[in-house]
């Protein structure tokens, strides 16, 4: 049964959230808005919303097939949107890294692209006013964000997502360097992967050219931002 879009309830930095005629579902629309540095740098990138949504839908579909629970329900009312389950967001950003770059290199001064043994996982507290600070496992539990058991579960799911997404982008000739995912709780308490998994939330390097195919093009002023997103989405569409 088709789900009908209702009124706009939230316009975030990159996504618009709409009510639907099903009280358990929302419609999440990926916009062309892009931002970096906690919203300090902003622009509009033609074609980004549709490209991100194409990629995100394909990844969530793969995760669901692997038995990893997500909020994804199905196609939305346009090419930039998807229908998702309503969930209570857990205020964490869970970051998985295969190679060190970005804030990790800045924090610890290790060589750029130093490989990790497996997936390195870290957490930030999702707070724009505090600038998404790193948060330890003990603080996550002490602050009541998750129980110890739930934290263990999230770590297990993040590791599974890491390898699934790495394999997904490898099929598009891309190497997954790192990514950020978010989790939410359904009314029955089940923890699921929410939000999006896209070039806005992952670092992906073209395996042939070594070029970034993600938001780093915007962060570092590398140019051809729209072209990179659209190219990756084309590869995803070819694959599926
Ligand atoms: P870093 O911590 O090195 O800046 O980012 C690690 C990975 O997580 C990158 O793939 C980056 O895109 C993603 N990431 C970290 N924080 C955020 C955030 O606040 N928003 C988005 N969209 N991605 C993030």
Residue nearest to atom 20 of ligand 1 (CA): 201
Helices (H), the chain: 48-65, 102-108, 137-142, 148-170, 216-219, 225-239
Distance (angstroms) between ligand 1 centre and the Cα of 39 equals 13
- pLDDT over threshold 60, residue 168: yes
Per-residue tokens: 134 = 């790193």
User: pLDDT band for position 1 (50/70/90)?
Assistant: low
**CB distance 159 to 169 below 8 Å:** no
User: pLDDT band for position 2 (50/70/90)?
Assistant: confident
Q: Which of 125, 135, 201, 212 to mutate to test the pocket of ligand 1 (most atoms within 8 A of CB)?
A: 201
- pLDDT over threshold 90, residue 10: yes
Distance (angstroms) between ligand 1 centre and the Cα of 30 equals 17
- Binding-site residues, ligand 1, Cβ < 6 A: 93, 95, 102-104, 132, 178-180, 200-203, 215
Which ligand 1 atom minimizes the distance to the CA of 38? 19
Which ligand 1 atom minimizes the distance to the CA of 200? 22
pLDDT digits (tens, 9 = 90+) for 74-123: 999 999 999 999 999 999 999 999 999 999 999 999 999 999 999 999 99
Domains and CATH numbers, the chain: 5-85 (3.30.200.20), 88-224 (3.30.470.20)
Per-residue tokens: 132 = 């998404």
Distance (angstroms) between ligand 1 centre and the Cα of 190 equals 25
How far is residue 163's CA from residue 176's CA, in Å, rounded to a whole number?
Answer: 9
Distance (angstroms) between ligand 1 centre and the Cα of 178 equals 8
This prediction's pTM: 0.97
**CB distance 6 to 18 below 8 Å:** yes
Per-residue tokens: 31 = 């916009």
Distance (angstroms) between ligand 1 centre and the Cα of 37 equals 10
Per-residue tokens: 201 = 């939330």
Residue nearest to atom 14 of ligand 1 (CA): 180
């Amino acid at each position: 049964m088709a789900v009908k879009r209702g009124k706009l309830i939230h316009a975030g930095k990159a996504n618009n959230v709409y009510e639907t005629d099903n009280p358990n579902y929302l419609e999440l629309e990926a916009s062309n808005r892009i931002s970096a540095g906690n919203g300090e740098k902003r622009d509009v990138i033609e074609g980004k919303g549709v490209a991100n949504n194409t990629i995100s839908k394909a990844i969530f579909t793969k995760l669901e097939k692997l038995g990893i629970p997500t909020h994804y329900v199905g196609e939305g009312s346009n090419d930039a949107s998807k229908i998702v389950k309503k969930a209570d967001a857990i205020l964490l950003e869970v970051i998985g890294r295969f190679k060190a770059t970005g804030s990790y290199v800045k924090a610890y001064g290790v060589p750029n692209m130093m490989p990790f043994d497996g997936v390195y996982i870290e957490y930030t507290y999702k707070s724009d006013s505090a600038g998404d600070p790193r948060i330890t496992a003990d603080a996550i539990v002490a602050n009541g964000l998750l129980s110890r058991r739930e934290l263990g579960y999230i770590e297990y799911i993040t590791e599974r997502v890491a390898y699934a997404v790495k394999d997904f982008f490898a099929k598009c000739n891309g190497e997954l360097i790192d990514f950020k995912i978010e989790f939410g709780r359904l009314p029955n308490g089940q923890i699921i992967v929410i939000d999006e998994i896209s070039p806005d939330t992952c670092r992906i390097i073209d395996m042939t050219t070594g070029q970034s195919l993600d938001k780093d093009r915007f962060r570092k002023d590398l140019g051809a931002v729209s072209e990179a997103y659209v190219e990756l989405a084309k590869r995803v569409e070819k694959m599926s």
